[in-house]
Amino acid sequence: MKRSLCFILATICVLTLFSVNVNAESKTLNTYRESEVETVNIAEGGRAQLQFKVSGSFTSVGINAAKSNRGKSVIVATLYKWDKNSITSRRGTPIASKEIDLWEADQLISLEFDKPLDAGEYFYDLYVKSGSFTVYQYKGNVVGAKNCYNDKFYLGSIKGQIVLSDTNGGFELTSEMTDFPVDYAPPESQIAADSNIAIMGVDPTKFAAIDDLGRTVDGYSQTGPQKDKIVGMFYWTWHDTRHRYDRPINITQLMEQHPELKKDFHHTLWNNYVGMNFWNEPLFGFYARTDKYVLRKHAEMLANAGVDFVLFDCTNGSFLWEDGYMTLLETWSEAREQGVKTPQVAFMLQFAYSGNTLTSLAGLYENLYSKNLYQDLWFYWEGKPLIMAHSSGLEESDPYQYQLLNYFTFRAGMPSYFREDMTDDSWGWLHVYPQALYKNDDGSVEMTTVGVAQNADYEKMELSAMNGDHNMGRSFTMQRGYSYSYAYRGEKIKVDKSIENSLLYGLNFQEQWDYAISVDPEIIFVTGWNEWVMGRFEEWCGVHNAFPDQYDDANSRDIEPSKGILKDHYYYQLVSNIRRFKGASKPDSQTTAKTIDITQGADQWQDSNIISYNYYTNNTYERNTAGYVGYTYTNEGTRNDIKTTKVSYDKDNVYFYVETVNALSPYTDTNWMRLLLDTQVATSDSKDWEEFEYILNRNNPTASEMVLERSTGDWNWEEVGKVSYTVQGNIMQVAVPRSMLGMTDRVTFNFKWCDNNLSTGDIMDVYTDGTAVPGGRFVFQFTSEEIPDFGEKAGISWYVIVIIAVGVVVIAAATVFVILKSRRKIK
């Protein structure tokens, strides 16, 4: 009896040793061997995986969770047939898959099958769709069951079970991984000839603009033709849920009201101001990062500025802010359908290699790139999608990491503002003047940076908080005595630190642009567009009550317009400098006159001599969106969606044509279909509103007549006369007598159409409300005169050069006189 009992106990021990449990109808195989154990946490985007081979049919497979979950995390469990390696296996057809979001500690995360699956080799994959997942990892191995994480196999075993329906079955030796595939990124997307971007052909470099400071945006005559240059912009999609539970704190406003708070972290008043700190209020409000109304506005503004790509900030931990970037990609894809050549996108990851880098790369690859989502929006460099990340820790021997290494073009992010020039495939994001140059092997400059301001101490030349005593804010310049100048209303305006409200003029920004352009890089990267928010710390980099990255109007680094005193000044400074760097297209001229009968149809406008001024459609989305706590934003969106405007003229009239997507709304609507006209260069005594001398239809028209008014200064107007117009469906035609506009000689002016905005004469309304064609302060340029090519001067004939060349002194002198006289006429 004792021998029999010993034999039974020995048999049980052997079965336990080999990780097998048997009952009458099934057999359970443990995928782990009892030994020293630890827990392994799999972050969002990561995978816990099991390769196994069994000699009998089975009804379930699972991996144990080491920690419970109550819906915060989501796991996708999928079973595949094994095929050569983990990656090829996962590209096969799933046998079964399901999402799981509730489990207890030590619960088996499993797939069960009513009909047993055949014996063979399989691959079980647990993908962490959101949150995290923790498993048990044992040091002991199990023959027939290999564990891996993120497609890389590790020694040891993972706690799990396989239930066999065939009690005679068991584990068999698994295959070695072979033939790792490398999937390269698809070729860079090109703009199709039948796309709305190509068909509409909107070229923002032909737009003119004068900002609120009187600075004229450079155009073709200053910059020359477009060059093969690229501009990137730092862009923030982060904190895509913070608006749900934080109220916004306007620090500029708060410090104006309570300056005693600046240095006192523990002041009791801070108890009344707990939430998300903003350096000021954005023009579009304290918006959620997933507000499509705002994202559509950004798409258009950045496209009109000439920004080619944006880098999303994913530098903190392994946060990717997927809701933020996916909503943006969706919205910008829609904008492209509406004719907007939006910037393309890439991601900036951690400033040094870490485990977070691999997690972030895997998350982006799995959720976006491997699925080929929004591929036309990916920014490519050297033939592959760009990722600004350190690749030094990726292992070529690991199949998944090898795939990542070959899929992307890597540029390592350099965090320091004070580095010297570099040539090791790294890029910066923000520097003090003169900015570091990131060079190619041949010594040419691949990229450099431009910043609006830097959170750096100009005395110690080290990192500091934005509210430090010696911060490099918007008015700071490294060069003593640095200045720039521009002409406005007959006056030369010199901008240096002594100018009133110097923070409006972007001295720091301009100094960096001047240097960046002078070194002739391939790429200029600008920091930044829309960070807005910052933390507050008792001490940071030696600054007490520190705001590290942003602070107030004077010490902040965003370009996106605000509701404060900065308005849109930095936006047009950006536009002008991008054109200085990249060049601009030659504006169109319409030298052929044509009389239009506005009572007739649109066919008379179908003339190759008449320019079509096209613009993007649906540029104001309907809005009913929660912003930060306490703010809800509404907007009725686009009413009359203007897509094409045209101009014609004869000796008596200037004719205007407007075409909308749908039929025009009734003329009795408020703020209906207004035309703004800039007909002359502003002088010290000229009267205008935001550079426009005339407005048509400020007050509602009759069914057949509109009122043309002239500014008497600012938003004050006097009637000039009544003009005729007609509407037929989605087309409006207007005839304006030239005499009313003072156009007796040439026909040259700038113009803009607006609808459903400007109710109070605030130019900033054209960004937020209704339709503005073109957007913001931009205007279309119209002229009946030929525009000379860049560098050419009108009035000089070819034979003059020949005569000078042969040295005929007398005739040459006479020619010079003729030239001078001709130039005086032009002026």
Domain spans in the chain, listed from the N-terminal domain onward: 2-164, 196-582, 602-616+630-783, 796-827
Whether residue 593 is predicted with pLDDT greater than 60 in this model: the reply is yes
Q: How confident is the model at residue 178, as a pLDDT?
A: 76
Whether residue 794 is predicted with pLDDT greater than 80 in this model: the reply is no
User: Tens digit of pLDDT for each residue in 475-528?
Assistant: 999 999 999 999 999 999 999 999 999 999 999 999 999 999 999 999 999 999
Q: How confident is the model at residue 185, as a pLDDT?
A: 92
Q: Which fold has domain 196-582?
A: TIM Barrel (3.20.20)
The answer to whether the CB of 388 falls within 8 A of the CB of 349 is yes
Amino acid at 810: V
Lowest-pLDDT range, 609-623, 705-719, 796-810?
796-810
When the pLDDT of each residue in the chain is averaged and rounded to a whole number, the result is 92
Q: Which residues contact 93 (CB under 8 A, 6 or more apart)?
A: 80
Q: How confident is the model at residue 191, as a pLDDT?
A: 96
Q: How far from the centroid of its chain's Cα atoms is residue 195's Cα?
A: 21
Q: What is the DSSP string of 34-84?
A: EEEEEEEEEETT-EEEEEEEESS-EEEEEEE-SS-EEEEEEEEEEEEE--S
Fold match flag (2-164 vs 196-582): no
Residue with tokens 């336990």: 16
Is this model's pTM higher than 0.85 or not?
no
Whether residue 20 is predicted with pLDDT greater than 70 in this model: the reply is no
Cα Rg, the chain, nearest whole Å: 33
Would you call 649 helix, strand, or coil by DSSP?
strand
Alpha-carbon gap, residue 343 to 302, rounded angstroms: 7
Q: How confident is the model at residue 577, as a pLDDT?
A: 99
Backbone angles phi, psi at 192, to 5 degrees: -70, 150
Q: How confident is the model at residue 6, as a pLDDT?
A: 43
Question: Packing angle between helix 355-364 and helix 399-407, nearest 10 degrees?
Answer: 70
Hey, what are 278's tokens? Answer: 């903003």
**CA distances (Å), 510 to each of 219, 553, 577, 581, 783, in order?**
17, 17, 8, 13, 31
Q: How confident is the model at residue 230, as a pLDDT?
A: 99
Whether residue 256 is predicted with pLDDT greater than 70 in this model: the reply is yes
Where does residue 375 fall: left (phi above 0), alpha (psi -120 to 50 degrees), or beta otherwise?
alpha
- Closest CA relative to residue 513, chosen from 554, 584, 572, 426: 572
The answer to whether the CB of 131 falls within 8 A of the CB of 23 is no
Whether residue 104 is predicted with pLDDT greater than 80 in this model: the reply is yes
Hey, what are 655's tokens? Answer: 């004719």
Alpha-carbon gap, residue 621 to 628, rounded angstroms: 19
As a whole-number percent, the residues of the chain with pLDDT over 90 amount to 86
Whether residue 793 is predicted with pLDDT greater than 70 in this model: the reply is no
Q: How confident is the model at residue 232, as a pLDDT?
A: 99
Q: How confident is the model at residue 807, as a pLDDT?
A: 39
Q: What is the DSSP string of 665-689?
A: PPTTSTT-SEEEEE-S---TT---B
- Closest CA relative to residue 415, chosen from 548, 279, 546, 561: 548
- Closest CA relative to residue 644, chosen from 673, 611, 672: 611
Q: How confident is the model at residue 657, as a pLDDT?
A: 99
Model confidence at 824, in pLDDT bands (50, 70, 90)?
Answer: very low
* Class for the domain spanning 2-164: mainly beta
**CA distances (Å), 182 to each of 185, 622, 748, in order?**
10, 44, 58
Model confidence at 817, in pLDDT bands (50, 70, 90)?
Answer: very low
Would you call 100 helix, strand, or coil by DSSP?
strand
| Dihedral sign computed on CA atoms, order 362, 366, 370, 373 | negative
Between these two residues, 448 and 1, which has the higher pLDDT value?
Answer: 448
Backbone angles phi, psi at 295, to 5 degrees: -60, -35
Q: Which residues contact 601 (CB under 8 A, 6 or more apart)?
A: 728
Q: How far from the centroid of its chain's Cα atoms is residue 454's Cα?
A: 21
Q: What string of H, E and C letters represents the secondary structure of 576-627?
A: HHHHHHHCCCCCCCCCCCCCCCCCCCHHHHCCCCCCEEECCCCCCCCEEEEC
Q: How confident is the model at residue 22, as a pLDDT?
A: 52
In degrees, to the nearest 5, what angle opens at C-alpha 726 toward C-alphas 724 and 731?
135
Whether residue 323 is predicted with pLDDT greater than 80 in this model: the reply is yes
Beta strands in 713-801 (DSSP E): 717-728, 731-737, 748-755, 771-773, 780-783
> From edge to edge, which strands make up the β-sheet containing 152-153?
96-103, 69-81, 120-130, 47-54, 145-149, 152-153
Lowest-pLDDT range, 416-430, 432-446, 780-794?
780-794
User: Tens digit of pLDDT for each residue in 721-750?
Assistant: 999 999 999 999 999 999 999 998 889 999
Residue ranges of alpha helices (H) inside 109-262 are 196-200, 220-223, 251-257
- CB burial of 568-598 (b: ≥16 within 10 Å; e: otherwise) equals bbbbbbbbbbbbbbbbbebbeebeeeeebeb
**CA distances (Å), 423 to each of 93, 262, 823, in order?**
45, 41, 49
**What is the DSSP code (8-state) at residue 522?**
S
- Closest CA relative to residue 611, chosen from 642, 655, 580: 655
Strands 412-414 and 426-428: parallel
Burial class (CB in 10 A: 0-12, 13-18, 19+), 765: middle
Q: How confident is the model at residue 787, as a pLDDT?
A: 93
